[in-house]
Amino acid sequence: MDPSRTDRLAAPCPSSSLRSTNTTTNSNTNTTKSSSSTSSSSSSLNTIGGPTHVDIPTSNVHQSTSPSTPTAVNVPSAPYVTGRFGSRSAGQPNSYDSALSTSSSSSSSDVADDLASIDISQHNNEKEPLQDEPFTMANLPDGQAAMLQVLNGIASMQKELARLHMRMDALESQNEKIARKNSFFAATPPGSISPSPAFTSFQRLDLPSRSGSPIEGRNADYFAAPHLAMAPAAMAQPAPLLTEEPKLGLWAVVPAGGAGTRLWPLSRESYPKFLLDLTGSGRTLLQSTWDRLLPLAGSSRMMIVTGQAHTKGVSDQLPELLASNILAEPSPKESMAAIGLAAAVLRRRDPEAVLGSFAADHIISGRDGFESAVTEAVETAKAGYLVTIGIAPSHPSTGFGYIKLGESLELERAPNARRVTEFKEKPDARTASAYLSTGEYRWNGGMFVVKAQVLLELLRRSVPELHDGLDRIAAAWDTPSRQTILSEIWPTLPKIAIDHAVAEPAAKLGKVAVVPATFGWDDVGDFASLADLIPAEEGEARVLGDSRLVITESQAGGLIVPAAGRPIACLGVDDVVVVDTPDALLITTRARSQDVKKIVGKTKKTYPQLC
């Protein structure tokens, strides 16, 4: 028997094409014409909705004389029939026939299920002649047409549901990738921090700082820390370049080094503080620095200088960072070597480069004020100055250096730029109070903007051996001999901070300028300053991590970090600092937080693996 000698119909049809069988064959319906030949003719309607497929010989479709009586569709003997009910050979009982022969008392849903599960793949007809009569849904009995319409709707819904499931899976996968990328800890890092506290976000709260200055500016975050209190906007004029999209030509250099020993055991040499989320924001300090500088420089002009042990952590947290813009130091050499290396490499890549150095582990609030200050600093640097950004002090701190302001530089595109008279080291409390009373001092935040060529020339004058060594390394940096030259020269370079190497000597020559800033700033140098960044209920301890793990009674002002994931209970101890990690526990007070570095030195002798 020739299987091609059948008229085959693929059903069900799209629901929009279905018509009630109460209409006549000449009603306004869509028809599918047969294409005939000398041996066969076939007609088909393609389904949109889903996988259900039923082949029906048109010659065997008979209309019922009574619309209320179910009509059987007689399928001629076929070589093979497959479906949910199993497989059968020709001559075996046909579940398809029995399903459609169900009495009127049978459940219509059962019949629909049976129809949906059967696929008749091959059959032929020898007993009845082929007919060229076109087939439409109007030719079907009422019951069969209704069932096919229901089946088509079900198939369409199944397809849509499958599509939604696929989209949900894709979104879940994307969220997992983002969560992994934003995570501040590895699989089992020492000092990893529990999830952020359950209290409400402290962003954009319209609250005053301790200094009385209002929190203002785009994305301004409220912190209790006086370090982050922004100066009133009246203290500075808006930078003209901010009235249009900044096109600064700035290279953002981010020194990412230091072990952060005053934040031990959270911060370790193997996992320093810039790789941690210390504010519960979901972004590490390094990632927050990237976010802050991206609008000013762009991803292709961001350069990170870090230790060789941290290059993977940096690249994992900053996937947009170009690999060629990660400069790995073989060993720590203080800030001048790190910034000088970036300047030397940039001078060879871009002789007119203007670079801005911004530490990876600082916290800044008030993005508008930050962008305005950097914009003015770039314009001042183009005039040939080494430019620093002066932070408006909110209290007489003994933990920061100070900058004394001189006369205005009268630059049209940098109206707030002033000459630096001198740099002052960290003062005692009385001296710091005297500085604030004059109104002529700013905190030294360690942010510098300068032409690469100008910085290297200042370095050549003050520390020529460091300049010459960095120049030789930079000459080989983008060549195959980089590692050879680096391993030969780097160990011989002197350790010196940029303030002592170039800033202070250049200030005596009148070559240093300062742009007074109005944004809030903190270098998160110890647990006392970290505690100020964490919001707390009045009279309660501050918690960095899961606050449900901390139980307190009559305890206020301190900081508790349940990083090990176990409960911590405190009773009647004010200003206590408890940092509980999986492998180390620190208990001290906020007043002694600067001395944590001493205990780290002792710990390193006995348990070097913990440091």
Of the candidate ranges 132-141, 454-463, 466-475, 586-595, the one whose mean pLDDT is the lowest = 132-141
> Does the pLDDT of residue 138 top 70, yes or no?
no
Which residue has tokens 């916290």? 363
- Name the residue among 341, 305, 356, 334 with its Cα closest to residue 467: 341
Of the candidate ranges 108-122, 205-219, 225-239, 454-468, the one whose mean pLDDT is the lowest = 205-219
> Does the pLDDT of residue 492 top 60, yes or no?
yes
Return the pLDDT at 512.
Answer: 98
Q: Are 325 and 477 in contact (CB under 8 A)?
A: no
Neighbours of 79 (CB within 10 A): 12
> Does the pLDDT of residue 313 top 70, yes or no?
yes
> Does the pLDDT of residue 243 top 60, yes or no?
no
The per-residue pLDDT for range 252-275, each reduced to its tens digit, is 999 998 878 999 999 999 889 999
- Hey, is 582 helix, strand or coil? coil
Domain annotation for the chain: domains and CATH numbers = 10-156 (no CATH), 183-189+211-525 (3.90.550.10), 537-610 (no CATH)
CA 281, CA 284: separation in Å to the nearest integer?
Answer: 8
Name the packing angle between helices 464-477 and 452-462 (round to 10°).
140
Rounded average pLDDT over 449-455 = 98
Q: Are 268 and 259 in contact (CB under 8 A)?
A: yes
Return the pLDDT at 431.
Answer: 94
Q: How high does pLDDT run on average in the chain?
A: 74
Return the pLDDT at 359.
Answer: 96
Strands 386-391 and 512-517: parallel
Return the pLDDT at 176.
Answer: 63
DSSP H or E run through 598: helix 596-606
Q: Are 419 and 409 in contact (CB under 8 A)?
A: yes
Rounded average pLDDT over 582-610 = 92
> Does the pLDDT of residue 125 top 90, yes or no?
no
Whole-Å CA distances, 286 to 133, 278, 346, 354: 75, 11, 21, 21
Most confident of 71-80, 83-92, 517-526: 517-526
- Per the model's pLDDT, the better-predicted residue between 160 and 327 turns out to be 327
Beta bridge partners of 444: 390
**Banded model confidence at residue 239, pLDDT cuts 50, 70, 90:** very low
> Does the pLDDT of residue 395 top 50, yes or no?
yes
Return the pLDDT at 46.
Answer: 39
CA 404, CA 229: separation in Å to the nearest integer?
Answer: 20
- Per the model's pLDDT, the better-predicted residue between 29 and 162 turns out to be 162
Name the packing angle between helices 285-297 and 367-382 (round to 10°).
50
Return the pLDDT at 572.
Answer: 86
What value does the CA radius of gyration of the chain take, rounded to a whole number of Å?
38
- Per the model's pLDDT, the better-predicted residue between 110 and 207 turns out to be 110
Most confident of 51-65, 135-149, 284-298, 569-583: 284-298
Percent of the chain with pLDDT over 70: 65
> Does the pLDDT of residue 571 top 50, yes or no?
yes
- Per the model's pLDDT, the better-predicted residue between 147 and 262 turns out to be 262
- CA torsion sign for 464, 470, 473, 475 is negative
Q: What is the DSSP string of 181-192?
A: HH-SS-SS-TT-
CA 107, CA 104: separation in Å to the nearest integer?
Answer: 8
Tell me how many helices (H) and strands (E) the chain has: 15, 24
Contacts of 183 (CB under 8 A, 6+ apart): none
CA 517, CA 231: separation in Å to the nearest integer?
Answer: 8
Rounded average pLDDT over 100-126 = 44
Contacts of 584 (CB under 8 A, 6+ apart): 190, 191, 264, 265, 603, 607, 610
- Name the residue among 462, 463, 490, 496 with its Cα closest to residue 476: 490
Beta bridge partners of 302: 252
- Name the residue among 284, 442, 257 with its Cα closest to residue 339: 257
CA 577, CA 543: separation in Å to the nearest integer?
Answer: 10
- Per the model's pLDDT, the better-predicted residue between 235 and 206 turns out to be 235
> Does the pLDDT of residue 555 top 90, yes or no?
no
Rounded average pLDDT over 554-559 = 80
Q: Are 354 and 449 in contact (CB under 8 A)?
A: yes
**Burial of residue 335 (number of CB atoms within 10 Å: 0-12, 13-18, 19+):** buried
